[in-house]
DNA sequence: AGGACAATTACCCAAATGGGTAATTTTGTT
DNA sequence: AACAAAATTACCCATTTGGGTAATTGTCCT
């Protein structure tokens, strides 16, 4: 993807006015082309494969199939295409599910046209354009939970639990008895509302306790 | 943090020349101030608390304590300060460990001065400035592994395993016998090189198999 | 000094798990 | 049709796990 190649863009957006405006902005800008736009994922799935675009701008709140499921389905067929979510949704679920579904960028609809065009260029150059607070949200997801319901000893044991250590191994490595380990693990289960190691590991990871 | 407030910046960078150039770039730019710069984390830890800066530009490859450990230590003391890694390291470990340690931005050293200043402003406005390929790396980390050593049935069972389901529950929900579930789980353990549910869950999540 | 919380240890017992082995059926591909 | 891979089922047995209950010791803060 060199610097001056024309980038073909497709748009999936149910609001007719917004769709037309976006289409115009992109198509009228030098270096960009927008020949396809769709009002829902179903027609996009149908029409987009004839002439795969370089980049798809995808809304989330669409009738029937959501933009997130749309990305999942389209990315399957067009792995070379970059998908940028362009939406008003800024909740965690929308953001993380979009990325898991295969979106490479995530912009909010208040993104000014210049930024939007720059983002389309950037995603083709190997970047991942994101609105600032979206980027912050994503980066923040790598932090450990600031407050844990567990005591420090319990956290220590949870950590070993996640490594797959059994009672004896944990007991030996902490120089305490197996019974004590069990007592701590019971406390951990109670606090995390789980009843097995597998659930404890899953919860520990998803709640960023370790 | 309003638009026109002067942002105070501190720099931790062992290369004297780079440190001085960075310091000059920041300090000479309107709206920015750089009154503190350090050649290692130890002196930064010592000197930075007197006058906590808004933003710290942190190198990674430093003598003794690495910039990553430096961020962890400093962020503890100065939770309001934003840390931007400014480094040549672009490997996965450096990136993800930095974010886990508390960095909010991650820039490569080839970032032009204008971009750098813009990034400092952006991090204060609630964003997370990242070099394009770093952003892509981070976003990519949310995708599921494209290829799994497991068969589709095994993946299905691994998924339920991660939910904490036991043999019977899995068997019932898949309309197969508990013995079959066990057979699949044995195959999963063999392929993932684990010997327990806890390890299987951890591996499944870390390798993005689910 | 007292109270709250954390850490430690112990025991009983039912249920679940993990390893080994073996065989049949289904499915997919050449 | 033939072969390979996957899915299915079964049984034996030792080990581990999870739930319940109870008690002692240490530490921190009021």
CB A54 within 8 A of CB A74: no
- The answer, yes or no, to whether residue B1 has pLDDT greater than 70, is no
Nucleotide nearest to A181 (CA to C1'): C8
- Phi and psi at residue A108, in whole multiples of 5°? -85, 155
Is the CB of B139 inside 8 Å of chain A's CB atoms?
Answer: yes
Can you tell me the mean pLDDT for A97-117?
Answer: 98
- In this prediction, residue B51 carries a pLDDT of 87
Domains in chain A: boundaries: 7-130, 133-206
- The answer, yes or no, to whether residue A15 has pLDDT greater than 80, is yes
Confidence of residue A2 (pLDDT cuts 50, 70, 90): low
Q: Assign domain B7-130 to its CATH architecture.
A: 3-Layer(aba) Sandwich (3.40)
Confidence of residue B128 (pLDDT cuts 50, 70, 90): very high
Confidence of residue B141 (pLDDT cuts 50, 70, 90): very high
Average pLDDT of the residues of chain B: 95
pLDDT single digits (tens) A45-94? 999 988 899 999 999 999 999 999 999 999 988 999 999 999 999 999 99
Confidence of residue A196 (pLDDT cuts 50, 70, 90): very high
Can you tell me the mean pLDDT for A35-39?
Answer: 96
Q: Considering only residues 161 to 180 of chain A, which have any Cβ-Cβ distance to chain B shorter than 8 Å?
A: 161-164, 166
Can you tell me the mean pLDDT for B139-146?
Answer: 95
Q: Which CATH class is domain B133-206?
A: mainly alpha
- The answer, yes or no, to whether residue B169 has pLDDT greater than 60, is yes
Distance from the Cα of residue A103 to its chain's centroid: 7
Number of C-beta neighbours around residue A24 at 10 A: 12
- In this prediction, residue A209 carries a pLDDT of 93
What is the SS3 string spanning chain A? CCCCCCEEEEEECCCHHHHHHHHHHHHHCCCEEEEEEECCHHHHHHHCCCCCCCEEEECCCCCCCCHHHHHHHHHHHCCCCEEEEEECCCCHHHHHHHHHHCCCEEEECCCCHHHHHHHHHHHHCCCCCECHHHHHHHHHCCCCCCCCCCCHHHHHHHHHHHCCCCHHHHHHHHCCCHHHHHHHHHHHHHHHCCCCHHHHHHHHHHCCCC
Q: What does the alpha-carbon distance between residue B118 and residue A56 come to, in Å, rounded to a whole number?
A: 27
Average pLDDT of the residues of chain A: 95
Can you tell me the mean pLDDT for B167-192?
Answer: 96
- The answer, yes or no, to whether residue B4 has pLDDT greater than 80, is no
- In this prediction, residue A5 carries a pLDDT of 85
Q: What does the alpha-carbon distance between residue B83 and residue B70 come to, in Å, rounded to a whole number?
A: 10
Q: What does the alpha-carbon distance between residue A168 and residue B192 come to, in Å, rounded to a whole number?
A: 23
C-alpha dihedral (A190, A192, A197, A202), degrees to nearest 10: 170
- The answer, yes or no, to whether residue B2 has pLDDT greater than 80, is no
Chain D: bases < 7 Å from a protein Cβ: 5-11, 16-23
- In this prediction, residue A139 carries a pLDDT of 98
Residues whose beta carbon sits under 7 Å from strand D:
A 166-168, 182-183, 185-186, 189, 195-197; B 151-154, 171, 174, 176-180, 182-184, 196
Angle at the Cα of B36 from the Cα atoms of B33 and B42, rounded to 5 degrees: 150
Can you tell me the mean pLDDT for A130-149?
Answer: 96
- The answer, yes or no, to whether residue A3 has pLDDT greater than 80, is no
Provide, in whole angstroms, the distance separating residue B171's CA from nucleotide C21's C1'.
21
* Residues in chain B closer than 8 A to A105 (CB atoms): 139
Task: For strands B105-108 and B55-58, give the pairing.
Answer: unpaired
- DSSP conformational letter for B99: H
Number of C-beta neighbours around residue B187 at 10 A: 16
Q: Considering only residues 189 to 208 of chain A, which have any Cβ-Cβ distance to chain B shorter than 8 Å?
A: 194-202, 205
Nearest by CB: B162 against A132, A136, A198: A198
Which residue is associated with the tokens 């004297």? B16
- In this prediction, residue B50 carries a pLDDT of 82
Minimum-distance residue to D21 (CA–C1')? A183
Distance from the Cα of residue A155 to its chain's centroid: 28
Provide, in whole angstroms, the distance separating residue A152's CA from nucleotide C10's C1'.
23
Q: What does the alpha-carbon distance between residue A205 and residue A166 come to, in Å, rounded to a whole number?
A: 18
CB B33 within 8 A of CB B8: yes
Q: What does the alpha-carbon distance between residue A42 and residue B34 come to, in Å, rounded to a whole number?
A: 54
């Amino acid at each position: 993807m060199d610097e001056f190649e024309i980038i073909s863009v497709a748009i999936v957006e149910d609001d007719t006015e917004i769709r037309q405006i976006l289409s115009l902005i992109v198509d009228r800008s030098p270096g960009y082309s927008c020949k396809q736009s769709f009002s829902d994922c179903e027609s996009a799935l149908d029409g987009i494969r004839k002439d795969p675009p370089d980049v798809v701008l995808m809304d989330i709140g669409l009738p029937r199939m959501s933009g997130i499921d749309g990305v999942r389905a389209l990315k399957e067929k067009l792995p070379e295409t970059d998908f940028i979510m362009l939406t008003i949704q800024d909740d965690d679920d929308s953001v993380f599910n979009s990325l898991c579904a295969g979106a490479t960028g995530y912009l909010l609809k208040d993104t000014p046209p210049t930024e939007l065009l720059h983002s389309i260029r950037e995603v083709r150059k190997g970047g991942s354009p994101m609105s600032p607070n979206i980027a912050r949200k994503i980066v923040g997801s790598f932090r450990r939970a600031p407050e844990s319901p567990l005591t420090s000893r319990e956290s220590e044991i949870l950590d070993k639990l996640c490594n797959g250590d059994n009672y004896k191994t944990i007991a030996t490595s902490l120089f305490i008895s197996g019974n004590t380990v069990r007592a701590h693990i019971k406390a951990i289960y109670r606090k995390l509302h789980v009843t097995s190691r597998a659930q404890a590991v899953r919860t520990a990871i998803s709640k960023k306790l370790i």
